[in-house]
Amino acid sequence: MAEIILVRHGQANSTATDEASYDQLSELGHQQAAWLGAHLAETNPHFDQVLTGTLSRQADTARSMGYEITRQDARLDELSYFTIAHALEAQHGIPVPDSTGAYARHLPQLLDYWERDKISDIPEPFDAFATRISDALDMLCALDGRILVVTSGGVIGMILRHALGLHNGSTAKMMLQIMNSSLHRLEYVHDQLMVGTFNATPHLDPPDRAHARTYV
């Protein structure tokens, strides 16, 4: 049996407009990760393996949590949101969002156009993204023990989509709720993937950490 603990990276550069500038933790992102690591140290700190994608914000989150990375796997990297968003604007006139509210309206549109293969000249078609996440999930389910996976919101959303049989509209709503440094627990048992916990942030529950509950 594999117990898979998914963690979304801490807050990154929220003013970024491209993939490269987004791929760095903010000071708050490091703090969120440190608080999460301290919470795990007090509860259940042991993991048989610690996996991350190859992105800096993912690896730095694991390290700020206090864990050594067993290995990095590019299948756990995030979708190229900014690149796809700029292509969507150029090809269909749907503007890149400039606020949190605009982003909440934009993501379902982006996923819809992307899944229907209506966006060209992007690094990865939707089907390729879905396939690599499915392959990564198969790899995780084949492992034994308690596995920590530090990745990104889009990856977590696609894993939950697979586990729960969601469509794009529901997937977008789920992705929009995934908080920075949140915990998501799955178990692969009896050849089935079970979702036990979604979007838990016990390390951010104290009232004096309300400012640290971020989505972007």
pLDDT in tens, the chain (216 residues): 899 999 999 999 988 889 999 999 999 999 999 999 999 999 999 999 999 999 999 999 999 999 999 999 999 999 999 999 999 999 999 999 988 899 999 999 999 999 999 999 999 999 999 999 999 999 999 999 999 999 999 999 999 999 999 887 899 999 999 999 999 999 999 889 999 999 999 999 999 999 999 998
pLDDT score for 132 = 97
Q: How many residues appear in the chain?
A: 216
Provide the pairing of β-strand 145-151 with 49-52.
Answer: parallel
Quickly count: other Cβ atoms within 10 Å of residue 129's Cβ. Answer: 23
**Strand-pair partners of 7:** 150, 183
Query: Which fold, 2-78+128-212?
Result: Rossmann fold (3.40.50)
Domain residue ranges in the chain: 2-78+128-212
Question: Could you give the CA distance from residue 47 to residue 53 in angstroms, rounded to a whole number?
Answer: 17
End-to-end CA distance of the chain: 33
Residue where the block lists tokens 């308690």: 146
Question: What is 132-197 written as a DSSP string?
Answer: HHHHHHHHHHTS-EEEEEEE-HHHHHHHHHHHHT--HHHHHHHHHH--TT-EEEEEEETTEEEEEE
Q: Enumerate the β-bridge partners of residue 145.
A: 2
The amino acid at 32: Q
69, exposed or middle or buried, with CB in 10 Å at 0-12, 13-18, 19+? Answer: middle
Give me the pLDDT at residue 14, please.
83
- Across-strand partners of 197? 185
Residue 34 host element (H or E): helix 27-43
Nearest of 71, 102, 72 to residue 89 by alpha carbon: 102
Distance in angstroms (rounded) separating the CA atoms of residues 17 and 27:
19
Predicted TM-score of the model (pTM)? 0.95
